[in-house]
Amino acid sequence: MRRKLIAGNWKMHLLPAGARALVERIRAEIDPLAATLAKDREVMVAPPAILIPAVAQALAGSSILLGAQNMHYEDKGAFTGEVSPPMLLAYGVTHVILGHSERRHIFHENDELINKKVLAALHHRMTPIMCVGETQDEHDSGRALDVVLRQLQRGLENIGDDHVIRIVIAYEPVWAIGTGRTATPEQAEAIHGAIRGAILERYGRERADAVRILYGGSVNDENVDSLVSKPDIDGALVGGASLKADSFARIVKARTR
């Protein structure tokens, strides 16, 4: 059985005191249920890089996992402004979101760069959450599946059989991010099924069944149940609603079947 993953992406929000307060409120809701929830799901939050030390401290003793929103693929060097995998590991970061559509479209990250980062994450035994998703234009012109499968194939370049099961894929249609417009569970499930089909073709049934595929894009406490109860939707990558402790806690407790 694949364990669901509910991942909060805080994007460029909060200051240290607010981040600590948010963690405290989330913990108050989630920690008492940790043993039950742990049976079939994991919970992660990804603060901005500079808040990682404060959030790591606030998470001490909790089962909530710590993620990063991005990283460089080199361990160190002359890369002004960047953060390396060992720096994240030093603070207990276990997961890293890579190739988020905001990284792709605002900061012009391409599939080749994202693939290098995925390989670096695997090398450092971190869990990469590799994002794929089509824009509004691509969606409207019926190219969603082509775009998503191309991003997937390029993102998985040079990733062997033993490693693919450690990758989490996040399908995030760009037109649904921060817009309040979610893909319907049926739309999302169709793309998730196709992603799993492509993994199956290349890596075989057992590995395709092990890879988790999250949905992201305007997930909230009202629509989460219908999304994550679909067989190929293994959790959610949550932006806006992850900044509100009560909404995020409710999403974490989603009904999954």
Indicate the length of the chain as a whole number. Answer: 257
* Residue placing its CB nearer to ligand PGA in the complex, 102 or 111: 102
Nearer to ligand PGA, 26 or 241 (CB): 241
What residue type is 123 in one-letter code? Answer: H
- The minimum distance between CB 201 and ligand PGA, in angstroms, equals 27
Nearer to ligand PGA, 241 or 249 (CB): 241
**235 within 8 A of 224, measured Cβ to Cβ:** no
Residue 31 DSSP symbol = G
Closest CB to ligand PGA among 85 and 216? 216
* Binding interface with ligand PGA (CB under 6 A): 9, 172, 177-178, 216-219, 237-241
Q: Is 100 tagged catalytic? A: yes
172 is catalytic: yes
Choosing from 100, 124, 139, 192, the catalytic residue is 100
Least distance CB 77 / ligand PGA (angstroms): 29
CB of 169 to ligand PGA, least distance (A): 13
Cα(173)–Cα(115) distance, integer angstroms: 19
3-class secondary structure, 2 = coil
Nearest approach, Cβ of 8 to ligand PGA (angstroms)?
A: 9
Q: Which residue has the tokens 């988020």?
A: 100
SS3 assignment, position 30: helix
Check 138, 172, 189, 192 and give the catalytic one.
172
Cα separation, 134 vs 188, in Å, equals 12
Using an 8 Å Cβ cutoff, are 243 and 22 in contact?
yes
HSE of 79, CA atoms in CB hemisphere, 13 A:
10
Residue, CB closest to ligand PGA: 239
Residues with a known catalytic role = 100, 172
